Amino acid sequence: MGQIDDIAKTRRTVKLLPDQSLAGPGLSRETVEALLETAGFAPFHRACAPARCGDGAVEPWRVHALDKAGCVALIPRLGDLPKTPGKIVNMLAAADALLLVTWLPEEGREWSASDLNMEHIAATGAMIQTLLLAATEQGIGNYWSSGGVLAREAFDVLGIGTEEVLLGAIFLWPDAPDGVEAKPGKLRGQRSAPAHWTRWIEVPVS
């Protein structure tokens, strides 16, 4: 088995939902930045639209990072939102870090109609998966969440511009302490072999 094969198969969704904050130092910023350094090598086909990337970075993604202290400090701020934050609060209480990964659409909110935007989303997804693999290699538990209230309602609190769209709220975890259940992803057990979703094309030889 090659190393990437092992890491890809070891990566798995883990969700920690404790009732109270977990003690511990969390991940250092240096550790998180090393993961992002790796993730930043994901492929991307198009530079983000100049009008959209005012900070000058050409990548179609942006990352908004919270360390453990930031995750805990965010919890009471979410209480003011009109929509209930639900399990996000429990996860913030557990997380060693949270990375909010957004992408920058070309055209307002009508982004689904554009090929360019499809490629921006694909590239950002590749970046997130690379991040998850890098975390897995380091033994850091992880979870790609759609984000719940973090996906929109909390943008103001988080200082994220409305021109960005959240693709993933990436929770990075400590080891689950005794008594805290580590929940798996719902579809984990339904994964099928490539033969179920792959077709060899037989091109007639002319």
144 contacts ligand FMN (rule: CB under 6 A): yes
The structure tokens 């009471």 sit at 76
Give CA 153 to chain center in angstroms. 17
CB-wise, 84 or 146, nearer to ligand FMN? 146
* Among 58-66, 73-81, 102-110, 181-189, the segment contacting ligand FMN (CB under 6 A): 181-189
Contacts (CB under 6 A) with ligand FMN, residues 74-103: none
Q: Which stretch binds ligand FMN (CB under 6 A): 27-35, 56-64, 113-121, 144-152?
A: 144-152
Write out the two tokens for 173: 């975890």
CB of 44 to ligand FMN, least distance (A): 17
Binding status of residue 146 toward ligand FMN by CB under 6 A: yes
114 binds ligand FMN, rule: CB under 6 A: no
Of positions 18, 40, 70, 185, contacts ligand FMN by CB under 6 A: 185
Residue 33 near residue 121 (C-beta atoms within 8 A): no
The number of angstroms, rounded, from the C-alpha of 98 to the middle of its chain's C-alpha atoms is: 8
Tokens of 23: 């003690």
- From residue 110, alpha-carbon distances to 67, 97, 166 in Å are 33, 31, 15
Q: Does 188 bind ligand FMN (CB under 6 A)?
A: yes
Provide the phi-psi class of 31: left if phi over 0, else alpha when psi is between -120 and 50, else beta.
alpha
Contact window for ligand FMN (CB under 6 A) among 28-36, 59-67, 155-163, 186-194: 186-194
CB of 27 to ligand FMN, least distance (A): 20
- Residue at 174: amino acid letter: P
Burial class (CB in 10 A: 0-12, 13-18, 19+), 174: buried
Tokens of 205: 């030889």
Nearest distance from residue 12's CB to ligand FMN, in Å?
4
Say whether residue 186 binds ligand FMN (CB under 6 A): yes
CA 118, chain centre distance (Å): 17
To the nearest whole angstrom, how small is the minimum distance from the Cβ of residue 202 to ligand FMN? Answer: 32
CB nearest ligand FMN: which residue? 185
Which stretches of the chain bind ligand FMN, using CB under 6 A? Answer: 12-13, 144-146, 184-188
